[in-house]
Chains A and B, each alone.
Chain A
Amino acid sequence: MAELIEYKCPSCNGKLEFNSTVQKMKCPFCESEFDVATLMSFDQQLENPQEDNMNWSTAAGGEWQNGEADGMKVYKCQSCGGEVVADATTSATHCPYCDNPVVMTGNFSGDLKPDYVIPFKLDKEAAKNALKNHLNGRKLLPKVFKDENHIDEIKGVYVPVWLFDAEADGNILYKGEKVRTWQDSQFRYTERNFYSITRQGTLDFEHVPVDGSTKMQDELMQSIEPFNFKDAVPFQTAYLSGYLADKYDVAAEDSIDTANKRIKNTTEQAFRDTVQGYSSVIRQSGNINLNNAKAKYALYPVWILNTSWNNNKYTFAMNGQTGKFVGDLPVDNGAAMRWFIGVSAVAAAGCYLIAKLLGYA
């Protein structure tokens, strides 16, 4: 026996019936009428929601060739446990992340060889100037932060990142509403037209970076984005000369969630941007699948300055490729209070003067 299919009204969720007069499905509760083919398509998409499929191939990084990693030393921070790598000609004395002393634990071995590296394009002088500019004009900044000694401690570090490439394949169903109003001598009319909106398509992503180091704050690394991959070159140990390199301690598999969230958000927004001309749009269902999703391992150049004030740690970072500088600054509460009182007093006096001129006082 054939299965009886029951359609529900997209407007009020009531059970629809076929109306032979209008040759359409009609809702006996809200009187809405629907074209059968459109309703079937809409119902099918609603009843068969597919899960997002966001699987990745995480075979990133390569093997070190014989003798390639020779002459690279590993330093370990006794405080935060972070490990940094430097070539034999570059000695590390302090941890770039927490500024505590590091000790050399031996020669570099194991781990994956990065696929790519973006070499530093900006030198230490550029980083120091960027930091000075970042601190300039900040009225609430504690004076100790403008101390030159702090600025000299800025260090160039290659931060490990996982780069994710994928083709996002989306299929999203929206419900849109168009409103039209008019009036005659007695009534004002509001017509609401409802539409089922289907969008299917693909959006390619290239080199979405996810920080592979727990010592480097994710927000800090994301704040100095974007990095331009056009400057990336196949990894050579020669690029590490004069800089420190952090070893990854977050596996590619553990970085997938972050990459998925970012790709999904942007894909959904891109699809939503194609739905135009409606007064309101609601997402009904949809899914996003990733095709050809694969990860690569790379080192990105970052200038880092760590300092502490009032028992709080402050980290500043500059994109070693583009020069974008970020870092939350501490607020001198005394200065903030002085500014509050000063501005309030001047504003109140100004207001009173205006009131007096207008004859209200």
Chain B
Amino acid sequence: MKKRFLAAAAAMLLTFSVGIPTVSAYADNGYGEIYDIDEDYYDSGQGEILDSEYDYEGYGNAEEVTQENGYVTYDQYQTTARQANPALTILICIGIGLLIGFIVTASMKASMKSVRQQTGAADYKDRTGIKLSVRRDDFLYNRIEKTPIAQPRQPGTPPQGGGQQPRP
């Protein structure tokens, strides 16, 4: 049973840990500034000009957008590249092996100890248990805390929290 548990734990650790060598590419490329420019366009009533100038459907891929105007599209934020790295995988496997070896040996060592101090006398209390003469719960006071709930963003209002929002 213990071995089965350890094997499952090792497999889970491996599944999570092998994600480490994968490379996630998130390019910011001054997106915050781009957003500021957009806001300026909207503020100056030029929002429509912006929409008409850039036909997003016409762009083939993210690279093309970046090359032509230096902007980054939503597609590029979602781009991730996974690569196998055998050396790193071996290192992680050795690390997991050492961890499992340590846990198994430590549990074997712990099983060699059986002498423990008794802190209570539960084995010697009367079978009828505790006899309560007073059992009172009196209300003292209460306190109510109010925490505002974050509201979902309305269409047309600027996003909060920065540069990960896609351009409209």
Contacts and interface: CB of A to CB of B under 8 A. Distances in A.
Contacts of B94: 344, 348
A103 interface: no
B117 interface: yes
B140 A34 contact: yes
Given A223-B114, A269-B122, 5 more contacts: A10-B140, A223-B115, A259-B121, A345-B97, A352-B93
A348 B98 contact: yes
Contacts of A35: 138-139
B145 A358 contact: no
A197 B134 CA distance: 10
A198 B121 CA distance: 23
Nearest to A167: B126
Contact of B115 (A327, A339, A351): A327
Chain B at the A interface: SS class: mixed
Nearest to A262: B121
Interface in B101-122: 101-102, 104-105, 108-109, 111-122
A44 interface: no
A201 B134 contact: yes
A220 interface: yes
A197 to B, nearest CB: 5
A13 to B, nearest CB: 13
Would you list the 6 A-B pairs with minimal beta carbon distance, nearest first?
A348-B97, A344-B101, A204-B126, A200-B134, A226-B123, A201-B132
B97 A351 contact: yes
A331 B148 contact: no
Interface in A164-211: 171, 175-176, 183, 185-209
B141 to A, nearest CB: 4
A81 B53 CA distance: 102
B145 to A, nearest CB: 4
Contacts of A175: 140
Interface string A333-361: 00010011111111111111011001111
B133 to A, nearest CB: 5
Contacts of B114: 134, 223, 326-328
Contact of A265 (B92, B120, B132): B120
Interface stretch (A138-146, A151-159, A239-247, A301-309): A138-146
7 contacts: A32-B141, A42-B138, A42-B140, A196-B136, A197-B137, A341-B101, A351-B92
Given A218-B117, A225-B123, A194 B140 contact: yes
Contact of B137 (A176, A202, A222, A226): A176
A205 B134 contact: no
Chain A at the B interface: SS class: mixed
A51 interface: no
B14 A355 contact: yes
B81 interface: no
B115 A220 contact: yes
A193 B147 contact: no
A348 B96 contact: yes
A187 B145 CA distance: 10
Contact of A195 (B121, B140, B143, B145): B140
B84 interface: yes
Given A339-B108, A344-B97, A351-B14, A201 B131 contact: yes
B131 A361 contact: no
A249 B149 CA distance: 70
Interface string B145-157: 1111101000000
A266 B141 contact: no
A38 interface: yes
B141 A188 contact: no
A187 B130 contact: no
Contacts of A352: 89-90, 93
A117 interface: no
Contact of A347 (B100, B122, B137, B143): B100
A88 interface: no
A217 B124 CA distance: 21
B131 A199 contact: no
Contact of A186 (B7, B104, B149): B149
Contacts of B146: 187-189
A264 to B, nearest CB: 9
Nearest to A204: B126
A193 B93 contact: no
Contacts of B147: 187-190
Given A202-B131, A222-B118, A328-B115, A187 B149 contact: yes
